[in-house]
């Protein structure tokens, strides 16, 4: 018997609103249901109420940064794949970023990000 | 006396060279240890190199110097000022004689003076002419048979060596002299070590600042580029409706403006302090900045309440920078103030020296933990802040001899006070 197909849910944590809009639209096109949060605290609030299949987070954000967020999510023991999406290559050397499942440097082409998402979410 | 001289000088912002001279002075002054001459070597890689040799060249000079230095009322600052001329390497001084001396700390045979620095042991030499451990060329230079070698080191690292003698008075080197000299040696060794650490730290801070800069540029350029690239890709898709086309183009335009602003502000920041201060009348500049920002501020529902006192003095600054500085503060105040909030600008003369421009907002104030960070480069609490505004303000104020005071209580807004130097007699 075939299961009913449900849209996979992605949470995007990114402080730049225009980037959020871009990701939202582009990932919706790929058939995902996207929720955005502009900072880590909002993301944690949302995570308490809703289940997600994947989280994409920026690192440098006002308030808690993405690494703090990852630490908190790990503390919640939610088994959700996390993709770091940042403008910086150099955070790779911070071992806390290794806790994420993938590290994608922001690029004007979203292909890499999209393919990583596909790796972790089997629709 | 000896230690008080040294400790007093270390609390002043003297250079390494000056502080070393203080130590040599303490070793040679009558009120200090009282040696006739003190020779300083500094470690440089695996060598020690002649750096400074303080003392009279001849008996006559000694008499003259000691007379000058024993004048009543002469303090250690005067003594050091005087001694500075004695260690000028480019004049006919003792220092000039040792500036080309250099000894390996490892190559055998290890002879004095290098032996002492290398082994980190004090050596007292008597009858140097018959002492096989003394380097012959060194003996020719120093020209005395009795001398004392004090190694300078810290944490097992050789920093240099001091060689002391009584060439003029021929007084014997006694146990108490050795004790005092070794204390000076310990202080000097640790001081040189601390200074070298500090130099390394400054270097590292510079590198860190450079790293910060690279991070900043990456962030400031990559985010807009991603946005521009992403929305352009959408436009290239033929099926985009008109409305969305316009929206994307607006976003792209805005991001390009942002890139321009980054480039502009970076260029600006790197350029401050190139222009000479000129005497300026502040009222017209302040009024024109207020006029140009007022429209934007009013449109967004905030209000500026300016109070410009009469008979303001002229100040020393650069007109464009003065305008930019005020614009920056107004921008921040605007961002911090909630809609319908007020921004107070007050321009007045604090006293004969300072003219103050204060900008007060009615926002949330600056949290304690951000007060230190806010003048740091690339620090911003705004979503698209570049983090160079306040740094620019600070650089301008520093470059023109002004100062900034920030008063802020969380929840009650912040007040930035800029102090500009008044033109003399202005």
Residue B54, pLDDT score: 93
Look up the CATH number of domain A9-120: 3.40.50.2300
Residue B104, pLDDT score: 95
User: Smallest Cα–Cα separation from B384: which of B275, B278, B265, B298?
Assistant: B265
User: Does residue B46 belong to the interface with chain A, where contact is any CB pair within 8 Å?
Assistant: no
User: Does residue A123 belong to the interface with chain B, where contact is any CB pair within 8 Å?
Assistant: no
Q: How confident is the model at residue B84 (pLDDT cuts 50, 70, 90)?
A: confident
Q: What is the pLDDT of residues B238-258, one digit of tens each?
A: 788 899 999 999 999 999 988
Percent of chain B residues topping a pLDDT of 90: 42
Residue B8, pLDDT score: 62
Residue B346, pLDDT score: 94
pLDDT over threshold 90, residue B70? no
Residue B77, pLDDT score: 74
User: Smallest Cα–Cα separation from B345: which of B402, B415, B288?
Assistant: B415
Helix (H) or strand (E) holding B17: helix B16-28
Mean of per-residue pLDDT scores for chain B: 86
Q: What is the mean pLDDT of residues A15-22?
A: 93
Q: How confident is the model at residue B154 (pLDDT cuts 50, 70, 90)?
A: very high
How far apart are alpha carbons A13 and B330 in whole angstroms? 31
CA nearest B221 in A: which residue?
A: A87
Q: How confident is the model at residue A25 (pLDDT cuts 50, 70, 90)?
A: very high
Residue A89 with chain B: CB contacts under 8 Å: 218
Q: How confident is the model at residue B9 (pLDDT cuts 50, 70, 90)?
A: low
Residue B23, pLDDT score: 87
User: Does residue B384 belong to the interface with chain A, where contact is any CB pair within 8 Å?
Assistant: yes
Q: How confident is the model at residue B162 (pLDDT cuts 50, 70, 90)?
A: very high
pLDDT over threshold 70, residue A4? no
Q: What is the mean pLDDT of residues B87-108?
A: 89
Plot region of B219 (φ>0 → left; ψ -120 to 50 → alpha; else → beta): alpha
Residue A106 with chain B: CB contacts under 8 Å: 222-223, 226
Residue B200, pLDDT score: 83
CA nearest B251 in A: which residue?
A: A18
pLDDT over threshold 60, residue B11? no
CB B76 within 8 A of CB B31: no
Angle CA B112–B116–B118, to nearest 5: 105
Residue A88 with chain B: CB contacts under 8 Å: 215, 218-219
Residue B14, pLDDT score: 63
Contacting residues for B420 by C-beta, under 8 A, at least 6 apart: B282, B315, B316, B317, B322, B354, B355, B356, B357, B400, B402
Residue B136, pLDDT score: 93
Residue A2, pLDDT score: 46
Whether A18 sits inside 8 A of B222 (CB atoms) is no
Q: Pick from A60, A62, A110: which is nearest to B230 by CB?
A: A110
Q: What is the pLDDT of residues B268-277, one digit of tens each?
A: 766 655 678 8
Q: What is the mean pLDDT of residues A42-57?
A: 94
CB B346 within 8 A of CB B358: yes
Q: What is the mean pLDDT of residues B156-161?
A: 93
- CB contacts under 8 A, B 248-267 vs A, are 251, 254-255
Whether B219 sits inside 8 A of A26 (CB atoms) is no
pLDDT over threshold 90, residue B135? yes
| Residues paired with B44 in a beta bridge | B47
User: Does residue A39 belong to the interface with chain B, where contact is any CB pair within 8 Å?
Assistant: no
Question: Domain residues of chain A, as ranges?
Answer: 9-120
Q: What is the mean pLDDT of residues B108-122?
A: 95
What domains does chain B contain, in order, with CATH numbers? 2-200 (3.30.450.40), 208-271 (1.10.287), 278-421 (3.30.565.10)
Tokens for B320, please give them: 């464009």
Q: How far is A14 from chain B (nearest CA, A)?
A: 10
Q: By mean pLDDT, which of A78-87, B112-121, B133-142 is the weakest?
A: A78-87
Helix (H) or strand (E) holding B104: strand B102-104
């Amino acid at each position: 018997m075939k299961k009913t197909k449900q849209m996979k849910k992605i949470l995007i944590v990114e402080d730049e609103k225009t980037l959020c809009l871009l990701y939202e639209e582009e990932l919706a096109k790929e058939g995902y249901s996207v929720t955005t949060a502009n900072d880590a605290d909002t993301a944690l609030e949302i995570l308490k109420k809703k289940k997600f299949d994947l989280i994409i987070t920026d690192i440098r954000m006002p308030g808690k940064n993405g690494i703090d967020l990852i630490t908190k999510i790990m503390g919640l023991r939610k088994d959700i794949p996390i993709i770091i999406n940042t403008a910086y290559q150099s955070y790779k050397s911070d071992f806390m970023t290794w806790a994420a499942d993938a590290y994608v440097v922001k690029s004007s082409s979203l292909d890499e990000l999209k393919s990583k998402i596909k790796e972790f979410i089997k629709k | 006396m000896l230690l008080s001289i040294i400790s007093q000088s270390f609390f002043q912002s003297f250079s390494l060279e000056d502080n070393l001279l203080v130590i040599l002075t303490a070793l040679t002054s009558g009120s200090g240890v009282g040696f006739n001459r003190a020779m300083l070597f500094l470690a440089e890689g695996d060598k020690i190199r002649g750096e400074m040799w303080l003392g009279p060249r001849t008996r006559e000079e000694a008499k003259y110097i000691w007379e000058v230095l024993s004048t009543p009322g002469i303090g250690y600052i005067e003594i050091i000022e005087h001694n500075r001329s004695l260690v000028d390497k480019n004049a006919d001084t003792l220092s000039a004689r040792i500036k080309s001396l250099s000894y390996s700390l490892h190559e055998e045979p290890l002879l004095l003076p290098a032996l002492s620095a290398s082994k980190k042991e004090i050596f007292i030499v008597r009858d140097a002419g018959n002492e096989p451990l003394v380097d012959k060329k060194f003996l020719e230079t120093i020209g005395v048979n009795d001398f004392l070698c004090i190694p300078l080191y810290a944490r097992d690292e050789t920093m240099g060596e001091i060689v002391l003698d009584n060439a003029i008075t021929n007084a014997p080197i006694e146990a108490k002299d050795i004790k005092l000299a070794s204390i000076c040696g310990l202080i000097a060794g640790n001081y040189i070590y601390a200074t070298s650490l500090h130099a390394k730290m400054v270097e590292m801070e510079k590198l860190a600042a450079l790293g910060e800069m690279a991070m900043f540029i990456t962030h400031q350029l990559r985010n807009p580029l991603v946005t521009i690239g992403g929305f352009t890709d959408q436009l290239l898709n033929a099926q985009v409706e008109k409305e969305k086309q316009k929206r994307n183009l607006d976003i792209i335009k805005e991001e390009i403006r942002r890139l321009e602003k980054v480039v502009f502000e970076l260029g600006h920041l790197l350029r401050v302090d190139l222009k000479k201060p000129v005497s300026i009348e502040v009222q017209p500049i302040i009024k024109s900045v207020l006029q140009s920002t007022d429209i934007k501020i009013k449109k967004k529902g905030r209000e500026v309440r300016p109070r410009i006192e009469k008979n303001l003095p002229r100040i020393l600054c650069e007109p464009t920078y003065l305008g930019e500085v005020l614009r920056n503060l107004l921008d921040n105040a605007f961002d911090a103030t909630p809609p319908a909030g007020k921004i107070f600008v007050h321009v007045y003369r604090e006293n004969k020296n300072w003219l103050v421009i204060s900008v007060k907002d009615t926002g949330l104030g600056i949290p304690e933990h951000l007060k230190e960070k806010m003048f740091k480069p690339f620090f911003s609490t705004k979503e698209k802040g570049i983090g160079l505004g306040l740094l620019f303000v600070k650089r301008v104020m520093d470059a023109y001899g002004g100062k900034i005071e920030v008063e802020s209580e969380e929840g009650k807004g912040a007040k930035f006070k800029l102090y500009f130097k008044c033109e003399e007699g202005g």
